[in-house]
Amino acid sequence: MSKVELPRDGMIAVVKRDCPTCVLVAPVLEQLATDTSVHLILYSQDDPSFPEGVPDVVDDTDLDVSWTLGIETVPTLVRRVDGEESARLEGWSRTEWEAFTGVDGLGPDLPDWRPGCGSLSVDPARADELAVRHQGGSLRSRRVDLAVLEDDHEAMFERGWTDGLPVVPPTPARVLRMLGGTTRDPQEVVAVVPPDLVECTVEKVAVNAVMAGCRPEYLPIVLAAVEAACTDEFNMHGLLCTTWFSGPAVIVNGPAAARVGMNSGLNALGQGNRANATIGRALQLVVRNVGGGRPGEIDRATLGNPGKYTFCFAEDETGSPWESLAVERGFAPDQSTVTLFAAEGVRGVVDQASREPESLARSFAACLRTVAHPKLAIAFDAMLVVSPEHARVFRDAGWSKARLREELDALLLLDGDEIVQGTGGIAEGMPAGFAGIPLPKFRPGGLLITHAGGTAGLFSAIVGGWASGAMGSEIVTHPIGI
């Protein structure tokens, strides 16, 4: 990590010759440099002989001083007192420069004001190099050097770091950019990741977020998803070990979803949106690469499902007739959250004829009854994703989400005589002791109702869950930080 010594007291000016405003104010800088009351030290980013009339210009062509000071525009004046910055001024404004320096009559022949130019230290061609030089030493993740003739993508696949699809090489520059998406300390432990129960830092999450293809602004959502997944309640270890289809689904609510451009509309459960695709994938890569949860090893799914690559979407709160999933689960409307659900694949619900809420609720209930098996009750959770066209039926009738849930609960109260083992010529079913006892299809709180999808198409979706509650996985909602 590069160490830069800055003046303890005095005034600093940072300029470059390749800046018309810097060239314009060169006479002013010459005047200030010779004024003993100012104590000016001048740094030049591209030519240590500029300005020519200033003696002892400091060479900052390596840009270390500019980077350390966080210079974004040249010219910039910085005042330092007792080793700390006390004031800063960018660009040229005669009145502001005179007030800043305490010197009157600066540049009387110059225009009153001119904007500055971009600093070389924020030039995309130099910024990564500078970040690695100054911050790269703070990264603690193990470095792996590849041979010159190794292909990066093939090498990562051969080392078992991928989910079978190519990943983005997590170079120090990319990881540092990713860490810029959060204010959290890179070495803060986010969670202990199963199945190997390895402590996972913010930096480790950032590494896998890079590999997944995330943008830095997605990182707080990924961090929240990792925290939620690694709770005892969600039981990620059990979810990995089960032979069932399921993996974690991430539902995002609140301002964060729109801020990062998540898809809650057309094709919300499908491909094509970078945030949806990479946030869910980053969670899966953390579980794989940090926790050791690899298919064929601890991951024992008989068939699995494509959602185990990534399953992440935002709820359409703006178009919904109901309170959001997060609000229903106790969070404020302006709080961004992730909800994790142990999900199998998506199955469609077709009802293009129902125009009354009672009829559509019966369609939903008939399809929901098939989750896991029509003759199994209580053991499996589910999520109902209601599309805008179906939601309109309930909106027009004035049905709240609570009203729909009440109707579904009544419709999904199963007759024990019909679902015990052997009835209907089907050996599967509830134990014989439940004969004559009405049983709810889902435990209390085991049916999520969300709103998402395109505005055309009288289709909704059911996402079946895994074993519910203490015998499997609880649904977990977790706030998104910064």
Q: Tell me what the pLDDT averaged over the chain comes to.
A: 96
At 143-182, the pLDDT tens digits run: 999 999 999 999 999 999 999 999 999 999 999 999 999 9
> What percent of the chain clears pLDDT 70, i.e. is strictly above it?
100
> In this structure, are residues 283 and 343 in contact, taking their beta carbons and an 8 Å threshold?
no
Helix (H, G, I), strand (E, B) or coil at 250: strand
User: Mean pLDDT throughout 109-113?
Assistant: 96
Residue in 445, 360, 443, 355 with CA at minimum distance from that of residue 404: 360
Residue with tokens 């305490």: 102
Q: Between the CA of residue 196 and those of 173, 236, 238, 285, 287, what are the distances in Å? A: 28, 11, 12, 14, 9
At 229-240, the pLDDT tens digits run: 999 999 999 999
Alpha carbons within 13 angstroms on the beta-carbon side of residue 213 total 16
d(CA 80, CA 199): 41
Token reading at 95:
């009145």
E-strand ranges in 318-471 read 337-350, 380-386, 413-414, 439-440, 447-451, 459-467
> What percent of the chain clears pLDDT 90, i.e. is strictly above it?
96
Question: Predicted confidence band at 2 (pLDDT cuts at 50, 70, 90)?
Answer: low
Q: For residue 386, which phi and psi values (nearest 5 degrees)?
A: -90, 125
d(CA 245, CA 385): 19
Q: Between the CA of residue 57 and those of 44, 49, 53, what are the distances in Å? A: 7, 7, 10
5/228: higher pLDDT: 228
At 433-478, the pLDDT tens digits run: 999 999 999 999 999 999 999 999 999 999 999 999 888 999 999 9
Token reading at 296:
């064929």
Number of other residues whose CB lies within 10 A of the CB of residue 376: 18
CATH numbers and ranges of domains, the chain: 10-136 (3.40.30.10), 157-479 (no CATH)
Terminal C-alpha separation, the chain: 26
Q: For residue 45, which phi and psi values (nearest 5 degrees)?
A: -80, -25
d(CA 411, CA 185): 50
Strand partners, 477: 339
Number of other residues whose CB lies within 10 A of the CB of residue 113: 12
d(CA 297, CA 194): 13
Question: Predicted confidence band at 4 (pLDDT cuts at 50, 70, 90)?
Answer: confident
User: Mean pLDDT throughout 281-300?
Assistant: 95
Residue in 290, 298, 139 with CA at minimum distance from that of residue 205: 290
Q: For residue 92, which phi and psi values (nearest 5 degrees)?
A: -120, 125
At 242-262, the pLDDT tens digits run: 999 999 999 999 999 999 999
DSSP state of 317: -
